[in-house]
């Protein structure tokens, strides 16, 4: 299986395709290829696609159960170093969008372009209380609990409660970027959000794109928080991102 030993962990990742590198950065409850299953075939035709599992997620292994958006950011830069990638396009979903934004702020020389799905740079933690371990148990959400056990077993070794508490702590604190930090993002930036995504309202998208110089946003009609996924509108989202990547290459 593909692993990179970096910092204090063994990071699991999938790699496919040939061309300029893209890192796909998954959301807080997900893992690499699961979050971007509907993107794999379209993007590998022209790009080398990497799907890493963040620290604390999926098949990535570490003795510590602690993780955060800033840690993920430094891990991704370390991943680029170990994979001998000087600069990559970043496509992030949810928490992964926040990590991509942090990379663009703190390591701008490593980011060729940034695409963020369901995340526009501001903390949006409404509804997070329904993912507290106690709430889930009290309300019989065993299907979700079982999915968190199975999906991240190699990362948390069965301690799904600690995984969720860490997730909620991160969700309620990040991306936590200032207006000045967003203004200083130099790379071409694209935000994508579903029409009905309560975590990424259009007023926040407008604010972000007013701050970031070379940025734009696209609303996916009828979409939810995951407009790029199966049963939503992955064809439209993929075509939109591929067109944006071509534009970013021209800016290059």
Per domain, the residue ranges of the chain are: 3-251
98-123 mean pLDDT: 97
β-pair type (47-52, 9-16): antiparallel
For residue range 45-70, list pLDDT tens digits in order. 999 999 999 999 999 999 999 999 99
Overall residue count recorded for the chain in this entry: 252
E runs forming strands in the chain = 3-6, 9-16, 20-25, 47-52, 61-62, 88-93, 111-117, 189-194, 215-220
Residue 147 is predicted with a pLDDT of 97
For residue range 5-42, list pLDDT tens digits in order. 998 999 999 999 999 999 999 999 999 999 999 999 99
Q: What is the pTM of this model?
A: 0.97
The fold for domain 3-251 equals Rossmann fold (3.40.50)
Q: Report how far residue 109's alpha carbon sits from residue 97's, in angstroms, rounded to the nearest whole number.
A: 18
Exposed, middle or buried, 213 (CB in 10 Å: 0-12/13-18/19+)?
middle
In this prediction, residue 1 has a pLDDT band, given cuts at 50, 70 and 90, of low
Residue 192 is predicted with a pLDDT of 98
In this prediction, residue 251 has a pLDDT band, given cuts at 50, 70 and 90, of confident
Secondary structure of 134-154 in HEC code, one letter for each residue: HHHHHCCCHHHHHHHHHHCHH
> Hunting for tokens 């299907």 — which residue is that?
143
| Residue 22, both tokens | 């893209």
Yes or no: say if 220 and 232 are a contact pair by the CB < 8 Å rule.
Answer: yes
> Hunting for tokens 């799907």 — which residue is that?
51
């Amino acid at each position: 299986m593909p692993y990179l030993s970096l910092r204090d962990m063994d990071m699991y990742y999938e790699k496919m395709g040939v061309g300029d590198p893209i890192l796909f950065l998954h959301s807080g409850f997900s893992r690499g290829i699961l979050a971007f299953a509907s993107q794999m075939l379209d993007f590998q035709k022209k790009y080398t696609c990497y799907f890493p599992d963040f620290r604390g997620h999926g098949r990535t292994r570490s003795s510590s159960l602690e993780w955060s958006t800033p840690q993920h950011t430094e891990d991704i830069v370390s991943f680029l170093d170990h994979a001998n990638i000087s600069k990559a396009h970043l496509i992030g979903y949810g928490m992964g969008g926040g990590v991509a934004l942090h990379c663009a702020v703190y390591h701008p020389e490593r980011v060729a372009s940034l695409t963020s799905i369901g995340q526009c740079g501001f903390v949006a933690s409404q509804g997070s209380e329904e993912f507290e371990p106690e709430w889930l148990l009290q309300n019989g959400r065993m299907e979700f609990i079982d999915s968190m056990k199975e999906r991240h077993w190699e990362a948390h070794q069965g301690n799904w409660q600690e995984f969720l508490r860490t997730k909620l702590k991160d969700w309620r604190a990040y991306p936590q970027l200032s207006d000045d930090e967003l203004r200083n993002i130099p790379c071409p930036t694209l935000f994508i959000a579903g029409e009905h995504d309560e975590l990424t309202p259009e007023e926040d998208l407008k604010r972000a794109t007013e701050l970031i110089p070379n940025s734009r946003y696209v609303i996916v009609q009828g979409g939810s928080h995951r407009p790029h996924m199966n049963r939503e509108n992955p064809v439209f989202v993929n075509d939109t991102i591929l067109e944006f990547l071509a534009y970013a290459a021209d800016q290059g």
